[in-house]
Chain A
């Protein structure tokens, strides 16, 4: 693994950590977008441009835009509340270093003992043909999940409108 990949991995972990630890929802959404960008760069470097483009456009682009829309209609915490939450906020992460260490050791042991060989990449002529030819059911599934998400948001927004009215 090249040094640049390790650096990207480190930045990916750092932005993911920032996403869950920051006190501002907006910064959290920006952190998530950054994480997606790092992941997309890794995918490019691993010779999978299609996955990288999807990651960049959908996760870093579309989903971040959705988050920003939702954040604009939610009530942010008052500065007093933020100060109150400040100390307790880090308590929930106290076991995180231990968990990371244990998972790291387990994965290290497993990968040292077992020589995993990645399957050879198939030559994909056209990603559209691949998706329609091999993953039709998953595409339909994605449409259904989107519809379901829309219903979730509709129910939430209607409630907010009722409360506002």
Chain B
């Protein structure tokens, strides 16, 4: 059944582009929405069976895959609503929808494959779709951002392909299990260590972690608003962070060099991302640097190497997808109404845009880890995992950076939404249902997951197993 999550988007793109005149263009939005909703339902409901007699895709669908497939459905639905509202040109909107479907197929592939070469193929699909999406409007900044992403992504590809070639020498196969077996038998080999390092560095570039983040702030801020939602909400999380979690936990051996590499890169990203965000005056650039910082939390959670840390990392991945998508939806609403993303030119927008202001507060507080919102629990779990496993200095860094997160986001709220409304903004209003609906749904998820987490943890998660006692 899950192979359909790759095949149907592909078939949809082909069908949409058959010559049925304008009929297909009119139904494109509904078709995309139906696909995304089906994906969310498919993940939530236990359905099995499929097309294995025809296609032998050899996929892996476990709890981690389900979480990320769910996030993909949610974020793409949000980007779809925002794109439908903000992209005025019919051709551009149609191209956007097609590329959204291609990105969907790519990301679903990344999430479900269990072969490093197939993983590489689907990473490239997502990356190519992202280059085109960033440059959709073809303005100078967007083209420059797409080019930067293209060049750094090519470097990441070279690193990963080199790693795959070395791993193939040892294992004779590119399947996860074969490589894992080969690594276990010769884990002290320096060549194996080099291969693992190259692959992880490639994924760091894809995930935009510091110091491999050169492309990310430009790409997030210069891309069209719905594409920023897509990139920040799920693309970098899937092609960089999810792939890293999958590779480190299933394929590589969790030894000390890998743990320390993850912990140091995670800590650097948390601190420098937060400090860089503090100095931004552009709404989208601040969110971009904040993304780098929040992804750092996921990476140090993973770097713990304990079940609790990995659980915290996955939980924060889910939370980050939701609150960062919500913040980018809100930035799209603000940009549409004010015509700028420069926060120094804004003030008091909450008076005219109360819904955007309130949902933004919820997302901001959740990102900063304020109870009882969802972000609080994932950060708490990551910090607990670090403390329990003896990496106390990293736990202290994580807590301190949370304060910086709160500081820059309160500054954002103050500059954009609070204070006295500027005269030039007297005529602005909420931008309508297409932006309000995803914002409300995402805000609901943040609150519901936060409030219900103690119940969910008690009913569905074996915390004793996670904490080892």
Q: Do A and B come from one complex?
A: yes
Instruction: Identify the A interface with B (CB < 8 A).
Output: 110-111, 113-114, 116-120, 133, 135-138, 140-145, 147-149, 151-152, 154-155, 158-159
Contact yes or no, B56 A143, CB < 8 A: no
Contact yes or no, B189 A114, CB < 8 A: yes
Residues of A within 8 A of B382 (CB): none
Task: Indicate whether A152 sits within 8 Å of B128 (C-beta atoms), given known contacts A140-B6, A144-B105.
Answer: yes
Task: Indicate whether A148 sits within 8 Å of B117 (C-beta atoms), given known contacts A140-B6, A140-B10, A155-B136.
Answer: no
Q: Determine chain A's interface SS by DSSP, over half rule.
A: helix
CB distance from B144 to the nearest CB of A (A): 16
Contact yes or no, A151 B121, CB < 8 A: no
Q: Is B194 an interface residue (CB 8 A)?
A: yes
Partner of A137, one of B13, B115, B135, B191: B115
Partner of A110, one of B99, B106, B109, B190: B190
CB distance from B2 to the nearest CB of A (A): 12
Instruction: Identify the B interface with A (CB < 8 A).
Output: 6-7, 10, 13-14, 55-58, 91, 95, 98-99, 102, 105-106, 109, 113, 115, 117-118, 121-122, 124-125, 128-129, 131-132, 135-136, 138, 168-172, 189-191, 194
Residues of A within 8 A of B99 (CB): 148, 151
**In the complex, what residue of chain A is closest to B92 when comparing beta carbons?**
A155
Contact yes or no, A142 B95, CB < 8 A: no
Partner of A147, one of B102, B118, B122: B102
CA distance A143 to B55 in the complex (A): 15
CB distance from B171 to the nearest CB of A (A): 8
Residues of B within 8 A of A158 (CB): 91
Contact yes or no, A145 B125, CB < 8 A: yes
CA distance A112 to B99 in the complex (A): 47
Contact yes or no, B102 A148, CB < 8 A: yes
CA distance A28 to B189 in the complex (A): 39
CB distance from B14 to the nearest CB of A (A): 8
Partner of A154, one of B55, B95, B115, B190: B95
Contact yes or no, B57 A151, CB < 8 A: no
CB distance from B312 to the nearest CB of A (A): 31
CA distance A83 to B189 in the complex (A): 50
Contact yes or no, B7 A140, CB < 8 A: yes
Contact yes or no, B169 A145, CB < 8 A: no
**In the complex, what residue of chain A is closest to B99 when comparing beta carbons?**
A151
Contact yes or no, B169 A133, CB < 8 A: no
- Output the residue of A116, A118, A149, A151 with the most chain B CB within 10 A: A151
Task: Indicate whether A152 sits within 8 Å of B190 (C-beta atoms), given known contacts A119-B172, A141-B121.
Answer: no
**In the complex, what residue of chain A is closest to B103 when comparing beta carbons?**
A148
Task: Indicate whether A145 sits within 8 Å of B189 (C-beta atoms), given known contacts A119-B172, A151-B95.
Answer: no
Contact yes or no, B105 A137, CB < 8 A: no
| 10 A-B pairs with least C-beta separation | A119-B172, A141-B121, A152-B132, A148-B128, A148-B102, A137-B118, A137-B57, A114-B191, A144-B125, A138-B121
CB distance from A123 to the nearest CB of B (A): 14
Residues of B within 8 A of A141 (CB): 109, 118, 121-122, 124-125
CA distance A149 to B57 in the complex (A): 23
Contact yes or no, A144 B136, CB < 8 A: no
**In the complex, what residue of chain A is closest to B113 when comparing beta carbons?**
A137
* Pairs across A and B, CB under 8 Å, 8 listed: A119-B168, A119-B172, A145-B128, A147-B10, A148-B102, A151-B102, A152-B132, A155-B135
CA distance A141 to B107 in the complex (A): 11
CB distance from B208 to the nearest CB of A (A): 21
Residues of B within 8 A of A143 (CB): 10
CA distance A111 to B190 in the complex (A): 10
CA distance A144 to B127 in the complex (A): 12
CA distance A36 to B6 in the complex (A): 31
Contact yes or no, A136 B55, CB < 8 A: yes
Contact yes or no, A133 B102, CB < 8 A: no
Partner of A152, one of B115, B131, B170, B194: B131
Task: Indicate whether A133 sits within 8 Å of B190 (C-beta atoms), given known contacts A138-B117, A144-B105, A159-B138.
Answer: no
Contact yes or no, B190 A118, CB < 8 A: no
CB distance from B111 to the nearest CB of A (A): 13
Contact yes or no, B124 A136, CB < 8 A: no
Task: Indicate whether A136 sits within 8 Å of B125 (C-beta atoms), given known contacts A143-B10, A151-B98.
Answer: no
